[in-house]
Amino acid sequence: MALLVIIYLSFISLGLPDGVLGSAWPVMHVQLNLPLWSAGVIALVTSGGTVVSALSSAKVIRRYGTGKVTAVSVLMTAVSLLGYSFAPNLLTLLLLAVPLGLGAGSVDSALNNYVALHYKARHMSWLHSFWGLGASGGPAIISLVFTLGYGYRQGYRAISVAQFVLVALLFLSLPFWQGKKSENQGKEAKASVNPLSLQGVPFALLTFFFYCAMESSTGLWASTYLVQVKGIGVEQAALWGSLFFLGITVGRMASGFITFRVSNNTMILGGLTVCFVALLLFFSPFVHLSGIALVTFGLGCAPIFPCMIHETPRRFGAENSQAVIGLQMASAYVGSMIMPPLFGLMASTLGLEWMPLVQLVFTLAMVLCVTKLIRIAKQKAKR
């Protein structure tokens, strides 16, 4: 039980930095005299680090163990966030984005596979709800800092302090990781085949790509969208921007209970349906519906990622899960890497009015990929 609490806290740490840059950016880019689109470049570099660490996660975790990898990775993110609070220019922010991405990718791959192998589906949903708690908490802290009259630098420092506290807990918890066993013990150390050759893997990778493209672009640009398109003030936009992550948090907490009776695949398709409904609300002329839309959109996104992860050992075998999850994380981070800067470039030239339409396209693409994965699973079952 103590180890599970530590894992949950680690996912709060993973989520904390994700929404901060987007909430701080309307003020941050002005104070640093940076163009609007440069937030996308920072996100690009961060995601590049996560791709590298995700692809190497199987070998690194096999050598050092999940506990040590998690502790060192969170330390890297804490140092990076503290550095953001002192960064004087774009080059420094880009340099700090590298260890931030490397640390985040390692934590994500290590803990997702560990929970998929050792715990029930409800714990995967609850685990990712703690990510949402961190992701919504980051923007909320930035909003509070702005409301109190402080700058974004103080917000980053406050968040880095929370990360350093967790680092201390993780190093103290290292002995807990040694004794955990599961029915998959012995299978998880090595993959039986090249994971890319497994039937259905390409569709799983595409699902993760589109999901994280949608989630990361919304998390980074939602506040700016509200300011530029809906005409909402900076402080309120930062607070409303956190509603997307709050919806994910609440949705994943509820999903953990729903998975007692509903399958992962049903949860995924149901979440995508809610996403469609939420995105349609953005086209309403009523400004305050944007807040409701962001919460609803977060609720729809909530079950997609954790349920896809938890299905991995069942779809592709426990012996292949770490390698496949590493690929899935890499694909997810490629989506996170490509879309935020592309959105930033388009925002600088065309504005952000088109953002909900692009997210609708991503949602439809995921429906097609998930449907294909379900068909493949049924064909395997018949054989």
pLDDT of residue 180: 55
pLDDT digits (tens, 9 = 90+) for 138-169: 888 888 898 898 999 999 999 999 899 989 98
Tell me the average pLDDT across 96-123.
Answer: 83
Tokens of 102: 């490397």
pLDDT of residue 54: 80
3-state DSSP assignment of residue 85: coil
Instruction: Count CB-CB contacts under 10 A for residue 168.
Output: 12
Give Cβ neighbours of residue 197 (< 8 Å, ≥ 6 apart).
none
3-state DSSP assignment of residue 78: helix
Q: Using CB atoms within 10 A of its CB, is residue 172 exposed (0-12), middle (13-18) or buried (19+)?
A: exposed
Tokens of 339: 């879309």
pTM of the model: 0.73
Quick one: how far is CA 140 from the chain centroid?
17
pLDDT above 60: residue 181: no
Tokens of 301: 């996104």
pLDDT of residue 128: 78
Separation CA 338–CA 48 (nearest Å): 9
Domain residue ranges in the chain: 2-174+193-382
Tokens of 262: 């509903």
Task: Give 228-235 contacts, CB < 8 A, sequence gap 24+.
Answer: 228/347, 228/351, 228/352, 229/351, 229/352, 229/353, 229/355, 230/287, 230/290, 231/287, 232/287, 232/290, 234/26, 234/27, 234/146, 235/143, 235/146, 235/147
Which parts of the chain fold into alpha helices (H)?
2-15, 20-31, 38-55, 57-64, 66-84, 90-118, 121-147, 152-172, 201-228, 234-258, 264-281, 289-301, 304-316, 321-350, 355-382
Q: What is the 8-class DSSP label of residue 190?
A: S
Q: Is 199 left (phi over 0), alpha (psi -120 to 50) or beta?
A: beta
- What is the share, in percent, of the chain residues with pLDDT greater than 90? 28
Tell me the average pLDDT across 42-64.
Answer: 82
Task: With beta carbons less than 8 A apart as the criterion, state whether 308 and 204 touch.
Answer: yes
Angle between helices 201-228 and 234-258 (to 10 degrees): 150
Separation CA 178–CA 229 (nearest Å): 52
Tell me the average pLDDT across 294-298.
Answer: 91
Q: Residue 298: pLDDT band by 50, 70, 90 thresholds?
A: very high
3-state DSSP assignment of residue 233: coil
Q: Residue 274: pLDDT band by 50, 70, 90 thresholds?
A: very high
Instruction: Count CB-CB contacts under 10 A for residue 229.
Output: 18
| Intra-chain end-to-end CA distance of the chain, in Å | 39
pLDDT digits (tens, 9 = 90+) for 235-250: 788 778 778 878 888 8
Q: What is the 8-class DSSP label of residue 232?
A: -
> What are the phi and psi torsion angles at 236 (to 5°)?
-65, -35
Closest to 207 measured CA to CA, from 328, 126, 39: 328
pLDDT of residue 185: 47
pLDDT above 60: residue 184: no
Tell me the average pLDDT across 191-196.
Answer: 70
**Reported CATH class of domain 2-174+193-382:** mainly alpha
pLDDT above 60: residue 187: no
Tokens of 53: 């660490």
Q: Write down the residue that tokens 């975790």 correspond to.
A: 61
Separation CA 376–CA 373 (nearest Å): 5
Q: Residue 118: pLDDT band by 50, 70, 90 thresholds?
A: confident
Q: Residue 16: pLDDT band by 50, 70, 90 thresholds?
A: confident
Candidate from 176-180, 306-310, 347-351, 371-375 with smallest mean pLDDT: 176-180
Tell me the average pLDDT across 191-209.
Answer: 85
pLDDT above 60: residue 133: yes
pLDDT of residue 59: 80
pLDDT above 60: residue 220: yes
Separation CA 160–CA 353 (nearest Å): 34
3-state DSSP assignment of residue 320: helix
Tell me the average pLDDT across 67-86.
Answer: 92
What does the mean pLDDT of the chain come to?
Answer: 85
pLDDT above 50: residue 182: no
Separation CA 277–CA 210 (nearest Å): 18
Tokens of 34: 């940076």
